[in-house]
Amino acid sequence: MKTEINFAGIKMKNPITVASGTFGYGSEYSNFIDLNKLGAIITKGVSYVPKTGNKSPRVCETPAGMINSIGLENPGIDYFIDNAMPFLSKYDTAVIVNAFGGAGGTVKDYVNVCEVLNKLDIDGVELNLSCPNVSSRMYGIWNNI
């Protein structure tokens, strides 16, 4: 069966991927599933500088499931390059990096992170332009366009 797709110019062996933030940088799930079977891995959001995220409690059980408010915690682009990239590049799956500017949220912050990502051996960048769990000032990008 032919399962390959071309998604916005990204060749994927199948259309199965993971939502950003639900799968870390891939290594967290590698003992549970064969990552080679995924069409793409979309990483947890990466920012130019590390971000600590929201104060706890950040996860709450509800009758319908759970709600979370992580606040885009991540160790920043330098950590991503040194630790996540060597792991991800071992797999035969497309890598799409979810990226955002960082605490400032200015256009320049977004450009900075994208310029670094552009030099990496990745298949695509998914821009995170809004998140319900962080203050709107972080997305001042909308006021700057």
Ligand X SMILES: Cc1cc2nc3c(=O)[nH]c(=O)nc-3n(C[C@H](O)[C@H](O)[C@H](O)COP(=O)(O)O)c2cc1C
Examine the residue annotation and report whether 131 is marked as an active-site residue of this protein. Answer: yes
Which of 131, 133, 137, 142 is labelled catalytic?
A: 131
**Contact characters 65-84, ligand X, x per CB under 6 A:** ---x-x-x------------
Scan residues 112-141 and list those touching ligand X (CB under 6 A). 128
Q: How far is the CB of 126 from ligand X (least distance, A)?
A: 7
Residue 21 as a binder of ligand X (CB under 6 A): the answer is yes
CA 20 to chain centroid:
5
How would you label 101-129 residue by residue, b for 16+ Cβ within 10 Å and e otherwise? bbbbbbeebbebbeebbeebebbbbbebe
Q: Choose one: 16-24, 48-56, 78-86, 110-118; the region binding ligand X (CB under 6 A).
A: 16-24
Number of residues in contact with ligand X, rule: CB under 6 A? 11
Residue 52 as a binder of ligand X (CB under 6 A): the answer is no
Q: How far is the CB of 23 from ligand X (least distance, A)?
A: 9
Beta bridge partners of 127: 99
Q: Where do contacts with ligand X occur on this chain (CB under 6 A)?
A: 19-22, 44-45, 68, 70, 72, 98, 128
